[in-house]
Every structure is written in C-alpha cells, then in structure tokens.
Amino acid sequence: MAKEQQHGLLGLDFQELSQLVLKHGQPEYRARQLFDAIYPQRVASLDSISTLPKEFRAALLEEGLDIGQLRIEKSFQSTDGTIRYLIATADGETVETVWMPEGDGGESGDGTEAGENDWNRATICVSSQVGCAVNCQFCLTALLGVKRNLTAGEIVGQVLAVLSDRQVDMERQRVNIVFMGMGEPFLNYPHFIKAVRLLAEGVRFPESRMTVSTSGIVPRIHEFGEEPVRPKLAISLNASNDQVRERIMPINRKWPLATLMQAAREFPLRNRERITFEYVLLDGVNDDPAHAREVVELVRGIRCKVNLIALNPGPGIAFGTPAEDRVKAFQQVLVQSGIPAFIRRPRGRDIYAACGQLKRTVG
C-alpha cells in the first residue's frame, strides 16, 4: 500500500486493491470490481457499488476507506468556456484544475470560442503540488511557495471531479490531460507517475493524450524517458541563454541550459513524437529576435515544436506583456529556421486560469 496518508480508495492501483481484498478474506475478483467502479465508472461512494457484499463495504467504511473523491469547492467560468475549479483535498487544502473546451487554443483551434456544452475536444490542466517551490519569476503560483505534494489519488481525483462535473463520456468525447497546473510534477515524481498509470489503465486515457511540463529537473527527465507508460514531454524553456534564464528561473543555476538541452537531446522519443518547448515571452526580457535566433541554436537537432505564450499579467509579477507584433516577429524567426512554432491563445485570462496564473487566493 502507498506510504502516503490514505484518505480513501482513490489512488490505489489494482495490485493494492487486490491486497486489500485478500486482507478482508474476499475473492480476488472483487479487486477488479472495485477498480472498475473507482476509475472508469467514477462511482462516488461504496454504497453505490451494489455488486460488493454489504459486509465487505461496511468493513471498508469502518476502516475509513470510502472512495475518497475530491470535492469541487468553487468554480469560475470564463467568457471563452474555460472553467477554473478550486478542488478541496481531505485535509482542507485547495488545488486548481482547469477545464478548457476546444483544447488550449493552440495550433489546431479554429479560433472560435466554445460555449458550455459546445465542444468536441477539451483539455484538463491538473496540479501536482499545493503551491510550487521552483520560483519562476513570472508565475503567480510561485508566490505561494510549496505546501505539500499531492498524492496520486489527489492528482487522479482532480481529473475525475472535472470529468463528472462536465459529464464527459470517455468512449465518445476526446479529452487531453496536461500536467501543467500548480506545482512541478517532477519534484513529486512517484505520485505523478503513479497517477499517470492510473489514468492510463483505470480512466483509459491513452498516454498520447497526456503531456507533462517540467521546468527542467534533469535527473527526472532521464528517468521519465525510461518509463513504459508516459505522457509526452514539454520543457518550460522561457529563455535562450543562461543569463536570462537564471534571472527568471532560478532552477537554471542547478541545471543550466547545456545540461537541460543535453537531456532533451538524449530523450528517447517515440515514433512521430516531438518535445514541446514552452516559451513565455516577457516584454523586453526574452522577446528579442536575437533571443529567437539563440533558441534556434539551442534546439537544433531536437525533434520539437515551440509554443509561444505572451505573458499573462498578474498582481505581484514584475514583467510586462509584449506587443503582438513582437510575438509574431519572434515566431517568424523560428518558423523561417524550420522550427514549428505556435502562438498560444490565452485561455481564461479573465478568471486567472491562464498559464502561470494559478493561485488559489486570487479570484
């Protein structure tokens, strides 16, 4: 059983459920019944699993083991269809999870805005920690510091809560997951990777529909490359040289660009897979065409694409948003050098749901 404090069955994998079932003197097939009820069927309470004997359910409840789904405390809806959820954990913390119908408005969006039920594909952005310790200078979450890691159950629980709230039918509707909410997933690696397995095996998200973003925790990038089941990799680059990167991302002192790019170069990509480099453009800091030319040199030889994000402004952030023509000029340099580069349309800016804006005390 997982070492973390267990508030419910959510977060246990099939093997752990099998152990639990055997401990209670039940036949092994009960583990499959529990697993299917918790993950693909998203059942909210043990009482609703009528296939299980009453005494077994009662014994689990006596141990304090109900399903343990997370509760949506509040939600804020943006004019563009994006919903920012505040989701409560059992110990009274809240994390943020964002629902973006029609994807994140990136390369394949048609530019139209989606209404509440008017979507054919969507992305859920999940958090991996309460707060974050990485301290990127352009990010509101950084202002919180890190309070604690989320458990695998709490990471999966965010997805289940949103799927249920949006009444998603996984058989018919296409949903992607991005691990890009609050926290650095690679500083909570065991729980993050367990959540990935549960989402793939239990909730039935193909690994190709999941993406994790890291600020550049190099040893974990290597480890992640060896995983049999893993999301796609995105690296939050945000600067073209060490001088600028150290200023806006202190983590660069520990793993400078040469080390980070070496890890990216060695990363074992699957067929047709690319690494995504994310680049938040900060007015007058990292948005010059000369910086774009440095990015071209950095990523040379790596099968990749670059997502450009003009800074989402926020209180307490000391940087400005570059003008649109500056963003376009930056993109041009990359595209002309043969690097796929996309300008990401900000989602839910009005409700503080956009990239780098997640901070539970705002709004």
Supply the residues annotated as catalytic.
Answer: 96, 355
**96 lies in the site for ligand SF4, by CB under 6 A:** no
- Mark the segment that binds ligand SF4 (CB under 6 A) among 21-29, 90-98, 128-136, 204-212: 128-136
Count how many residues are written for the chain: 363
Q: Helix, strand or coil for residue 210? A: strand
> For residue 130, what is the enclosing H or E element?
strand 129-131
Residues 6+ apart with CB under 8 A from 159: 97, 124, 126, 177, 199, 203
Smallest gap, in angstroms, from Cβ of residue 361 to ligand SF4? 15
Smallest gap, in angstroms, from Cβ of residue 280 to ligand SF4? 8
Of 82, 158, 188, 215, the residue at the interface with ligand SF4 (CB under 6 A) is: 215
**252 lies in the site for ligand SF4, by CB under 6 A:** no
Of 182, 282, 285, 311, the residue at the interface with ligand SF4 (CB under 6 A) is: 182
**281 lies in the site for ligand SF4, by CB under 6 A:** no
Give the number of other CB atoms < 10 A from CB of residue 40: 14
User: Cα dihedral angle (129, 132, 134, 139), rounded to 10 degrees?
Assistant: 120
Two structure tokens written together for 130: 């309460």
Alpha-carbon distance of 275 to 293, in angstroms, equals 19
**207 lies in the site for ligand SF4, by CB under 6 A:** no
**142 lies in the site for ligand SF4, by CB under 6 A:** yes
Alpha-carbon distance of 208 to 352, in angstroms, equals 28
Smallest gap, in angstroms, from Cβ of residue 134 to ligand SF4? 4
**260 lies in the site for ligand SF4, by CB under 6 A:** no
Beta strand pairing call for 210-214 and 174-179: parallel
- Mark the segment that binds ligand SF4 (CB under 6 A) among 15-23, 60-68, 91-99, 133-141: 133-141
Give the number of other CB atoms < 10 A from CB of residue 269: 15
Of 69, 89, 97, 141, the residue at the interface with ligand SF4 (CB under 6 A) is: 141
**217 lies in the site for ligand SF4, by CB under 6 A:** no
Smallest gap, in angstroms, from Cβ of residue 173 to ligand SF4? 28
Nearest to 179 by CA among 206, 201, 202, 158: 158
CB nearer ligand SF4, residue 202 or residue 216:
216
CB nearer ligand SF4, residue 178 or residue 295:
178
Dihedral pair phi/psi, residue 279, rounded to 5°: -140, 105
Alpha-carbon distance of 164 to 171, in angstroms, equals 14
**339 lies in the site for ligand SF4, by CB under 6 A:** no
Give the x-and-dash track for 57-76 against ligand SF4 (CB under 6 A).
--------------------
CB nearer ligand SF4, residue 134 or residue 160:
134
Nearest to 235 by CA among 253, 259, 260, 252: 260
Nearest to 100 by CA among 86, 121, 73: 121
The Cα-based distances of 206 to 7, 12, 174, 203, 278 in angstroms read 27, 19, 10, 9, 23
**82 lies in the site for ligand SF4, by CB under 6 A:** no
Of 9, 95, 126, 132, the residue at the interface with ligand SF4 (CB under 6 A) is: 132
Number of residues that bind ligand SF4 (CB under 6 A): 12
CB nearer ligand SF4, residue 114 or residue 140:
140
The Cα-based distances of 256 to 223, 263, 266, 356 in angstroms read 18, 11, 16, 22
Smallest gap, in angstroms, from Cβ of residue 353 to ligand SF4? 14
Give the number of other CB atoms < 10 A from CB of residue 4: 17
- Mark the segment that binds ligand SF4 (CB under 6 A) among 34-42, 86-94, 134-142, 257-265: 134-142
**134 lies in the site for ligand SF4, by CB under 6 A:** yes
Query: Which residues lie near ligand SF4 (CB under 6 A)?
Result: 132, 134-136, 139, 141-142, 182-184, 215, 356
